[in-house]
Amino acid sequence: MAVALSLLAVAIMLIGLTRLVCVLFLVGKPLSNSHSSSSVKTLIVLGSGGHTAEMLNLVAVLKKERFYPRWYVAAATDNMSLERARTAEESRPEQVEGKLFQGAEYMKIYRSREVGQSYLTSVGTTLVAMIHAMWLICQIRPDVILCNGPGTCIPLCIAGFCLKVIGIKWVMIFYVESIARVKKLSLSGWLLYKLHLADQLFVQWPQLKQKYTKAHYVGRLM
């Protein structure tokens, strides 16, 4: 019995490792366009300060009839970002399938690490944030995660990536680096780039493209 259980555990680990390698190989590759005309559930990650301003400017030019319904997520301690998103959404209601449509919901997530928090105590809060992120992603099951730098996006992107590996859903992760990042990626961008979690990572300065060759240079967006 013990030998059988050990062999079963090894088989499960090999299957999981094979699945992980396949997902990493497919990340960033173009997918089938068979559902290109349908709407995509979009999760938008907001952050304090300039992150939210840049993200809302980006969302303003999206085709709302394509990227809906929309979920805005911000850190639990961020008291402004979701209100700014709500105000922006309500100022431009969309016509979808001939009907006036408000396609947005607003949610909060535990923060992995507060400013000034010690790295030791952040281990526990990071674990809580990961569990909360996994719960949110499993509830929403977005087609797209759109983010641009706040640390809040890391647990959500990891959770979205886990859905790919498990085979529940292929969640596309798009990361747009802040215009303020001229010479190097932010920590969030660097992690997503090095861990191959983002399907597409966009930079707004040509020198970043030269340094991070797999990134996509798109010029100034905001």
How high is the pLDDT of residue 31? 59
Q: At residue 115, does pLDDT exceed 80?
A: no
pLDDT at 34 over 50: no
Q: Work out the pLDDT band at 173, boundaries 50, 70, 90.
A: very high
Give yes or no for residue 120 having a pLDDT over 80: no
Residue 71: pLDDT band with limits 50, 70, 90: very high
pLDDT above 70: percentage of residues in the chain: 79
27 falls within a domain: no
**Residue 108 lies inside a defined structural domain of this protein:** yes
> Which CATH number goes with the domain that contains 168?
3.40.50.2000
The pLDDT, as a whole number, for residue 118 is 66
* DSSP tag of 168: S
Q: Has residue 98 been placed in a domain? A: yes
Supply the range of the domain harboring residue 56.
38-217
Alpha helices in the chain (DSSP H): 2-26, 50-60, 81-90, 119-140, 153-166, 187-194, 206-211
Task: Quote the number of domains for the chain.
Answer: 1
pLDDT (mean) for 37-59? 89
- Report the share of the chain in percent with pLDDT over 90: 50
Indicate whether 122 pLDDT > 80: no
Is the residue at 5 inside a domain?
Answer: no
Rounded Cα–Cα distance for residues 150 and 60 (Å): 19
Reported as a single tens digit per residue, the pLDDT across 101-114 is 556 899 999 887 66
Q: Which residues, including other chains, have CB under 8 Å from residue 151's CB and lie 6 or more apart?
A: 47, 111, 112, 113, 187, 188
Per the model's pLDDT, the better-predicted residue between 17 and 159 turns out to be 159
DSSP string, 102-113: --EEEEEE--S-
**Single-letter code of the amino acid located at 65:** E
Whether residue 77 is contained in a domain is answered as yes
For the chain, give the mean pLDDT: 84
pLDDT surpasses 70 at 99: no
Place of tokens 């859903």: 169
Question: What's the confidence (pLDDT) of residue 159?
Answer: 95
**Does the residue 32 lie in any domain?**
no
Q: Is residue 147 part of a domain?
A: yes
**Mean pLDDT of the 189-206 span:** 94
Structural Rg of the chain based on CA atoms: 19
Domain assignment of residue 204, yes or no: yes
